[in-house]
Copies of this chain bind each other. A is one copy, B any other.
Amino acid sequence: MSTAPHRIDKLVVIGVGLIGGSFALAQKAAGCTGTVVGVGRGRMNLEEALNLGIIDRFVPLDGDWAAEVTGADFVLVAAPVAQYPALLRTMAPHLGPHTIVTDAGSTKQDAIAAARETLGAALPRFVPGHPIAGTEQSGAAAAFSTLYADRSVVLTPLPETDPLAIATVAAAWQTCGARVRTLDALAHDRIFAAVSHLPHLLAFALVDELAARPDAEDLFRFAASGFRDFTRIAASSPEMWRDIALANRAALLAEIAAFRAQLDRVAAMVETGDGAALEAVFAHARAARRGWASQRNAAGNPVPADGPREPQQD
C-alpha cells in the first residue's frame, strides 16, 4: 500500500478519545506532524493524553481553544455529532485560509448540515469522514497507533468540497494505514443504518427486554456463545448510540420497518409450520453470510474471520 506523502505542521484534535487519539498517534508514528494540540471536555483525559504522548499540549473545551485553530493546518473533530454545531460555530472565525477540517462522526448528513450552517467561506475545506473502526474501550488511554490499519475510512465530500482538501484528508488517513473510500452522504447514512445502526438497536433492544424479566438471571445463566456474539454490540456507548439513532432517524426508521416486515414474514412461517420456507430463508442467509465472510478473508481484511472452532450456541 503506498502512502501519499503529507505533512501536518499543526494538528488540532477535538475529542482526544480512542478515535481522535489513535489518529494523532498514527500521525506521530509516521513522523508526519509537528505539534498536536488536544481539545476536550475532561481535563483528566487530556492530561492522560499528554502523559501518553498523544498530544503535545491541550486546551479544555471551556477555555480559549478556538485560538489554537489559528495557524492549524488540520483539525479533526472526533466529538459526538450532537456537539458539531457549537464546535464548528466557535472555530469558524479562527479558521485560516488553508486550514482543513474533517471529522470522524458515524452519521454524515447531520455533520454536513452543521457544517453548512456554521462554516461559511470555510465550507469547501470541510471534508466529512467516517473511520469504520473502534473498540468497546473509550478515552485517550484506549488509543493506539494501529487502530486504523487496513480499516476503511469513508469520506462523503460535498459538491463544493475542495479536491485538494479531499486529497489531504485521504492522505492523512492513508498514513494511518486505512483504505479510503468515498460515498454520497445520503447513501452513507442509508448503508450504515442497515448494516450498523439497526443491528445495534436490535441488540440493545433484546438485552434490555430480557434483562427486565423476572427470570433474567436464569436466562443469562444459560446464554452461551451465540448470545455473546449477537449481543456484543449491546455493550456499546449509550450516549453515542442515542445520538446516532436520532441523527440518522429517517434511515433507521426505514430499516426498522423493513426488518419488522421480514420478522412478520418469518414469524408466519413458524406459526404455520412452513418448514420449507423457513429452511429457504435460513439457507439464503447462510449462503450470503458465508460468501461475505470469505470475501472479507480473500480481501485480506484483518478483522478476524469466524474461527473454525469458534464455539457456537445451540
Residues on A close to B: CB < 8 A?
106, 132-137, 144, 151-152, 154, 183, 187, 191-192, 194-196, 198-212, 215-216, 218-220, 222-243, 245-246, 249, 252-253, 256, 258-260, 262-264, 266-267, 270-271, 273, 275, 278-279, 281-290, 292-293, 295-296, 303, 306, 308-314
Contacts and interface: CB of A to CB of B under 8 A. Distances in A.
A283 B293 CA distance: 31
Nearest to A305: B228
Given A202-B263, A263-B205, A285-B203, A313 B235 contact: no
B256 A209 contact: no
Contacts of A205: 259, 262-263, 266, 281, 285
A146 to B, nearest CB: 10
Given A196-B223, A220-B292, 10 more contacts: A135-B309, A196-B313, A204-B266, A204-B282, A225-B303, A229-B229, A229-B233, A236-B314, A238-B283, A242-B279
A61 B256 CA distance: 46
Nearest to A313: B196
A228 B288 CA distance: 12
A308 to B, nearest CB: 6
B246 A284 contact: no
